[in-house]
Structure 1
Amino acid sequence: MNMLAELVAVDAIKQDILARARTQDRQGDTPLAGPTDGFTRISNIWTVIRGPLAFSESYTMSGGKDVLRGGRYLDRHECGADGWRLKQRRHVEDWFTGLDIPTPDLAIAGPALFAPRGGTGGQDPAALLHALGHARAALSPEQGKTMSETISPKDVETLIARDALHRLVVTYCRAIDRGDSEMLASIFHGDAVIIAGVCNGPAQNFAREVPAIVQTGLEMCFHSVANEWFEIDGDHAVGECYVVAFNRSRDATAPQESMVAGRYVDRFERRDGLWKISERVFVEDWRSVRPASPPPPRQDGCEYGAFGRIDPVYRFWPVDQ
């Protein structure tokens, strides 16, 4: 499989994962969907292709007005005559917290303040938008053209670079959340620097010290990234992505849980054909800290996240990655 075909496959798998999340939130009949409370946010989608098979890890945040939970989907996909399809899904539970969010009465809002409220099936406002999108698709001048007629070699090079930068961003999250120093060090150039508050200076020092801090000071942590923006110029690139991080302190007497939102502002360089991070700055936008919610009892048959190689992703992921 050439690089362009692999990128097309990765995008098809991503769209299938997102479509399933949307369907399950609207209470459709979605096989292998996983738990939800009406709202599922998918992020950090990382996919590797192995011939007719593919493996992906996706971060999930789901909940309603009373609860918010974070976890991951570990999915196996197969390519058949009808394209890429999900064949096996494992859900890994990482964290849980209670919420106390009042629901506003949108019915009293006037036209200037009105916002639609989500529903199920055809009652959801988004159903109309999707129907209009399908209706307009037939009018597109690109209908009937092959990909080779609509994409240039420069576009292909940009797509390959964006995919490489995306993988760096999600690898950082997995490395921090699993406390994996070796993986974390692999995404930075040897002379890279980082400003992260907890450790400022050479990125290789950060990669060595922070996973140990995470594992000794926290019960768990979870970094969900979105809003990825990259500007690529030859062998150089800059990027910004939004992150929401949740963690629970390892304190037997008064454990705290915190949710931190901010942005990673990055400078990337491609050296010897390999993209890595050369500079990273974490910009904190807001933080919420409160006493930790008591976690629900663990259930037989469920999988739970962990630090180190005992986490389910290491048994699931292809060994050459």
Structure 2
Amino acid sequence: MPQENVQNNGAAINSIHDRFAIEDLLTSYARAIDRLDLELLKSLYHEDARTGHAWFEGTARDFADQVIAFSRDTFVSTMHHVTHTLIALNGDTAAAESYYYAYHRLEGDIDKVAGFFGKSYAERCAKDGTIDDGHEFISGGRYVDSLTKRNGVWGLANRETTVEWKHFRPVTHGDPGSGIAKIVAPAGRDRNDVAYRVFAAIGR
């Protein structure tokens, strides 16, 4: 095989490997946020990385501390979905644009509901009798990332997050004993979640 073809094949294989590594990193972000895994979340960023969100601008390490604490105190569950990603590679640097949508569930009294969703929403729910039913906040946007590979490991160097739509509403419930009410399979918000046990079984 000509040397040029060998080099081209090697470059293609490296590109595929890099893309898989970046996609794995982006997917791991969802696990870290939803399982409140601070150690995992910090591991996705380089130590000097920065990040910008709708409510935060600063170092990624500070963001990780704040977002995990806020999510633990505010929501009873979250589920982040990274849907599709466009990745551009240039040696040991890369750019990625990932679409996402994120589900959050809040439970609490009228003061907690008003603190997150606003006084008028909380008062309306209290009047409607839905204040104690739990409340869903769903949003969508994009993660726009700069990544670098250092010592053979890809990490986030900078992340900018857009929020392009959001919706919130009281949670709906089925009648007691109904089929929908019997569908209950809660997730763990820590390393006791089933995913950690399954991955640990293969040494990951």
Q: Same fold (TM over 0.5)?
A: yes
1:252 is displaced (CA, Å) by 4.2
1:198 is displaced (CA, Å) by 3.3
**Which residue of the partner structure matches residue 28 of structure 2?**
171
* Residues 180-201 of structure 1 deviation map (CA, whole Å, 9 limit, x = unaligned): 1000000000000011123321
**Which residue of the partner structure matches residue 162 of structure 2?**
283
1:318 is displaced (CA, Å) by 2.4
Pairing of 1:34-45 with structure 2 (within 5 A): none
Alignment root-mean-square deviation, CA? 2.0
- SS for the counterpart of 1:268 is strand
Pairing of 1:20-59 with structure 2 (within 5 A): none
Pairing of 1:218-237 with structure 2 (within 5 A): 218-237=75-94
Please tell me the residue identity of whatever aligns with 1:245: A
Which one scores higher on RCO, CA 8 angstroms, separation ≥ 6?
2
Q: Distance in 2 between matches of 1:280 and 1:266?
A: 5
Please tell me the residue identity of whatever aligns with 2:200: P
**Which residue of the partner structure matches residue 263 of structure 1?**
142
User: Are 2:71 and 1:214 aligned?
Assistant: yes
**Which residue of the partner structure matches residue 313 of structure 1?**
195
* Residues 257-314 of structure 1 deviation map (CA, whole Å, 9 limit, x = unaligned): 1110100000000011110000011111111111222375355xx6421211232112
- SS for the counterpart of 1:152 is helix
Please tell me the residue identity of whatever aligns with 1:176: I
Q: Distance in 2 between matches of 1:171 and 1:221?
A: 14
Q: Distance in 2 between matches of 1:246 and 1:275?
A: 27
- Where do 5+ consecutive residues of structure 1 fail to align? 1-147
Higher strand fraction: Structure 1 or Structure 2?
Answer: 1
Q: Distance in 2 between matches of 1:167 and 1:308?
A: 20
1:250 is displaced (CA, Å) by 2.6
**Which residue of the partner structure matches residue 123 of structure 2?**
none
Are the counterparts in 2 of residues 262 and 286 from structure 1 also a CA contact under 8 Å? yes
- Where do 5+ consecutive residues of structure 2 fail to align? 111-130, 175-179
Deviates more, 1:172-181 or 1:289-298: 289-298
Q: Distance in 2 between matches of 1:303 and 1:249?
A: 18
User: Are 2:60 and 1:203 aligned?
Assistant: yes
* Residues 131-172 of structure 1 deviation map (CA, whole Å, 9 limit, x = unaligned): xxxxxxxxxxxxxxxxx99x8211111100000100110000
Q: 1:178 to 1:198 in 2, by over 3 A?
A: farther
Pairing of 1:36-115 with structure 2 (within 5 A): none
* Residues 82-113 of structure 1 deviation map (CA, whole Å, 9 limit, x = unaligned): xxxxxxxxxxxxxxxxxxxxxxxxxxxxxxxx
Please tell me the residue identity of whatever aligns with 1:224: H
Are the counterparts in 2 of residues 216 and 250 from structure 1 also a CA contact under 8 Å? no
Higher helix fraction: Structure 1 or Structure 2?
Answer: 2
- SS for the counterpart of 1:309 is coil
Q: Distance in 1 between matches of 2:171 and 2:55?
A: 21
Q: Distance in 2 between matches of 1:197 and 1:210?
A: 12
- SS for the counterpart of 1:317 is helix
Pairing of 1:113-192 with structure 2 (within 5 A): 152-192=9-49
Are the counterparts in 1 of residues 187 and 193 from structure 2 also a CA contact under 8 Å? yes
Using the size of structure 1 for normalisation, the TM-score is 0.50
- SS for the counterpart of 2:191 is helix
Q: Distance in 1 between matches of 2:107 and 2:57?
A: 23
Q: Distance in 1 between matches of 2:61 and 2:70?
A: 15
